[in-house]
Structure 1
Amino acid sequence: MIHLYTDSSPNGFKITIALEELGLPYTLHHVRLDAGEHRQPDFLRLHPHGRIPVLVDEDSDITLFESAAILLYLAEKTGNLLPTEPRARWQAMQWLLFHAASVGPLMGQRVHFEIFSRTRNAEAMERYRRLTNEAFATLDQHLSRHHFLAGDAYSIADIAHFGWTHIARIVDFDFSQYPHLSAWHERVAARPAVRLGVTLPAPATGA
């Protein structure tokens, strides 16, 4: 049995979407970040840095944190959502890592400074708006030539990026000026597993 410890966040939605896409049975454990449950000793034994999501696969006796690692694990476990042809496979992993190293952290900082920060830091807000727009432009250019990030096939790279573009829409980070990225977002958002995944354990709301 797979156990997923998560909350309603962009990184958490990546894994609920993937599990629903793959049709894997799992038990969902709601870790309420706003209640500080990610700082409790039981959770810290799973992830000493106290972040969601965490996946525990009892069948293989594997516990993983970091959403990119979990996505790779689930793709390898099932043989799905990661192309087998080498060029497409590495494209998927490249764009997955572009998200993990660039897009996700940049969006997280922008959300912090524009929504959660108690003080208005104009320099930081301008910096992260500029950097996220540059990342959006990079994705838009790539998607002008490809249906999905790895080419023709939907993959874990698309799931990773969608976790944050879904939140961008909720908090009104406008990327409509990037038509190919916007069209890709709508294609992914229309998938039944995606529609369900972004409601687990609860739908996200703007701050």
Structure 2
Amino acid sequence: MIDLYYWGTPNGYKIRLFLEETGLAHRIVPVDIRAGEQFTPEFLAIAPNNRIPAIVDTAPADGGAPISLFESGAILLYLAEKTGRFIPQDLRGRAEVLQWLFWQMGGLGPMAGQNGHFNVYAPEKVPYAIDRYTRETARLYGVLDKRLADREFVSGNEYTIADMAIYPWIVPHEAHKQNLDDTPNLKRWFKKIGAREATKRVYEDAQASYATPMTDEERKVLFGAPAK
């Protein structure tokens, strides 16, 4: 059994996609990040960076004590290795998946996240920041579009955890000021993944729109946490 500590964000959806595709037994434990539930001692014991998602595997492969993990990329890799699914077993195929998984974690996620912050959530418009992150998101979309020019999925012809990691960050493309018509290969890939039954089930169960209005108090909770 996998306990998934979750809220409806792009990083949260990544893990939902994997669990829905595999049918791996799991239980969703909501963590309302707008109410500050990510700062409770119980959650911090699992995810010390106070971010969702996190998991607890109550039946790890070694038969030992439960294993907890935070960071969505690490969770995807762990689950792929646990089930033997959605990651190639050969050296070269695995390398292809891992580099695009890390591309999302180190590039698309942080840049699109800042894009969303300054375009959607920031209490005041900062033109330089909006332009900076909108342009960088567009550049990354272009990288992905070129990658998909001669292949069905990001790492080749098989759907993998790399696609699962990237797709939820493309979902809010309109809020991020991106037009998929400018990247036809990406648009084709996006529609293909969106048509998968598992994807439809996950997003039909979405908790709220990406751009749901936020109160001042919720904004303080999400964006005002001190270093300590």
Compute the TM-score of the two structures, normalised by the length of structure 2: 0.87
Is 1:99 the counterpart of 2:104? The answer is yes
The question of 1:196 aligning with 2:201 is answered yes
Aligned residue number for residue 121 of structure 1: 126
Which protein has greater RCO, CA pairs closer than 8 Å, 6+ apart?
A: 1
The alignment status of 1:45 with 2:50, answered yes or no, reads: no
Report how far residue 168 of structure 1 moved: 2.3
Equivalent positions of 1:121-160 (< 5 A) are 121-160=126-165
Match of 1:55 in 2: 55
The Cα shift of 1:174 comes to 2.6
Deviations 1:39-94 (A, max 9, x none): 12211111122100001001122100100000000100000000123222111111
Equivalent-residue separation in structure 1 for 2:188 and 2:135 (angstroms) = 22
Q: Which residue of 2 aligns with 1:75?
A: 80
- The aligned counterpart of 1:180 is 185
Q: Which residue of 1 aligns with 2:63?
A: none
* Structure 2: runs of 5 or more not aligned: 61-65, 213-228
CA positional deviation for 1:145: 1.1
Q: Which residue of 1 aligns with 2:19?
A: 19
Any conservation in 2 of the 1:28–1:201 contact (CA below 8 Å)? Answer: no
Name stretches of at least 5 consecutive residues in structure 1 with no aligned partner. none
Compute the RMSD of aligned alpha carbons: 1.4
Tell me how far apart the structure 2 counterparts of residues 167 and 37 of structure 1 sit (CA, whole Å). 24
Name the SS of the counterpart of 2:69 in structure 1: strand
Give the structure-1-normalised TM-score.
Answer: 0.95
Instruction: Tell me which structure has the larger Cα radius of gyration.
Output: 2
Q: Percent identity, please.
A: 37
For residue 176 of structure 1, give the secondary structure of its aligned residue in structure 2. Answer: helix
What's the offset of the Cα at 1:198? Answer: 2.6
AA partner of residue 19 (structure 1) = L
